[in-house]
């Protein structure tokens, strides 16, 4: 009995030792920054000599500030249209790649290309395409008589946000395409064969077989994609830096400017904590809507 107990204890200790490196990495890279960010948000600080405790002052001011909520509305609009574009384009391409056609591996590699480029490179490429003087988009639209004269896509308050969203859709759709394609290939083909024998149309097969079979993939993809693009910074910063006239000034740009241009680190940390809870609510809401509470 005593020997069995000692053996069980050694196995349990071995389990803890195996997970300790992963826990240490998570502690340093995830848990500590979260706790330290929350700690900074309680101070008026320059992160050096000035550490004046202000408590929840920044939270109260931010939550009652209409400018902050206008930035949140811009961020939600940017995230909604970007994620919607990812899922429409990703689903269409995943369905096409799920069909056995010659050269499928080549098409898959080509369609993955946007995901392989760094975000800065993607933003610079689209900035060149949108250029009103020598950009290809204006050139082709003028040649096709769609527009009479070149448009400053990134300089117009009404066109800047859609232009940024298109660049973000192009950058992000491959991840959704790959995840949905993996989900499609896990659905048994016997279900489609049975549906075909029963006389189901392709739309009915998609509605009653494909979508339910992709439910858990959709939950994970929606959460990851929404959180990733809600806090996105690089492409928007390189393309517009939040302008013109705050048309693309999403919350991540505002947090950056507050911290590193105005040196109000405590207020920036407060905004980041609020964004964290908004992202948490997105994930919780998706799981509730798509019936994934028990997983």
pLDDT value for 292: 54
CB atoms within 10 A of CB 240: 24
Q: Which residues of 204-213 are buried (b: 16+ CB within 10 A; e: fewer)?
A: ebeeebbeeb
**91: burial class by Cβ within 10 Å (0-12, 13-18, 19+)?**
buried
Beta partners for 43? 53
HEC profile of the chain: CHHHHHHHHHHHHHHHHHHHHHHHHHHHHHHHHHHHHHHHCCEEECCCCCEEECCCHHHHHHHCCHHHHHHHHHHHHHHHHHHHHHHHHHHHHHHHHCCCCCCHHHHHHHHCHHHHCCHHHHHHHHHHHCCCCCCHHHHHHHHCCCCCCCCCCCCCCCCHHHHHHHHHHHHHHHHHHHHHHHHHHCCCHHHHHHHHHCCCCHHHHHHHHHHHHCHHHHHHHHHHHHHHHHCCCHHHHHHCCCCCCCCCCCHHHHHHHHHHCCCCHHHHHHHHHHHHHHHHHHHHHHHHHCCCCCC
pLDDT values of the chain reduced to their tens digit, one per residue, 295 residues? 567 777 777 778 888 888 889 989 988 888 898 899 999 999 998 888 788 999 899 999 999 999 999 999 999 999 999 999 999 999 999 999 988 877 778 888 888 889 989 999 999 999 999 998 889 999 999 999 998 888 999 999 999 999 999 999 999 999 999 999 999 999 998 998 898 888 888 899 999 999 999 988 988 899 899 999 999 999 999 999 988 988 999 999 999 999 999 999 999 999 999 999 998 888 888 777 766 554 5
pLDDT value for 291: 62
């Amino acid at each position: 009995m005593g020997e069995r107990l000692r053996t069980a204890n050694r196995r349990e200790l071995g389990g803890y030792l195996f997970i300790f490196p992963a826990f240490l990495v998570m502690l340093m890279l995830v848990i500590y920054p979260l706790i330290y960010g929350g700690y900074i948000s309680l101070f008026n600080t320059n992160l050096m000599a000035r550490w004046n405790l202000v408590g929840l002052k920044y939270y109260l001011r931010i939550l009652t500030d209409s400018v902050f909520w206008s930035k949140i509305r811009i961020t939600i609009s940017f995230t909604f249209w970007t994620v919607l574009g990812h899922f429409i384009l990703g689903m269409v391409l995943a369905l096409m790649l799920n069909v056995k056609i010659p050269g499928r591996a080549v098409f898959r590699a080509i369609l993955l290309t946007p995901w392989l480029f760094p975000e800065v490179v993607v933003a610079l490429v689209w900035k060149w395409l949108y250029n009103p003087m020598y950009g290809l988009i204006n050139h082709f639209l003028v040649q096709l008589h769609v527009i009479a004269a070149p448009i400053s896509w990134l300089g117009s308050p009404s066109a800047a946000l859609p232009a940024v969203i298109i660049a973000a859709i192009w950058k992000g759709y491959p991840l959704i395409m790959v995840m949905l394609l993996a989900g499609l290939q896990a659905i048994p083909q016997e279900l489609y064969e049975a549906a075909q024998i029963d006389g189901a149309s392709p739309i009915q097969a998609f509605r009653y077989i494909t979508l339910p079979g992709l439910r858990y993939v959709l939950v994970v993809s929606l959460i990851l994609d929404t959180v990733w693009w809600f806090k996105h910074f690089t492409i928007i910063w390189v393309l517009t830096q939040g302008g013109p006239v705050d048309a693309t000034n999403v919350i991540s740009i505002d947090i950056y400017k507050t911290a590193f241009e105005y040196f109000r680190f405590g207020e920036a940390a407060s905004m980041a904590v609020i964004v964290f809870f908004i992202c948490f609510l997105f994930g919780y809401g998706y799981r509730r809507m798509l019936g994934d509470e028990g997983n």
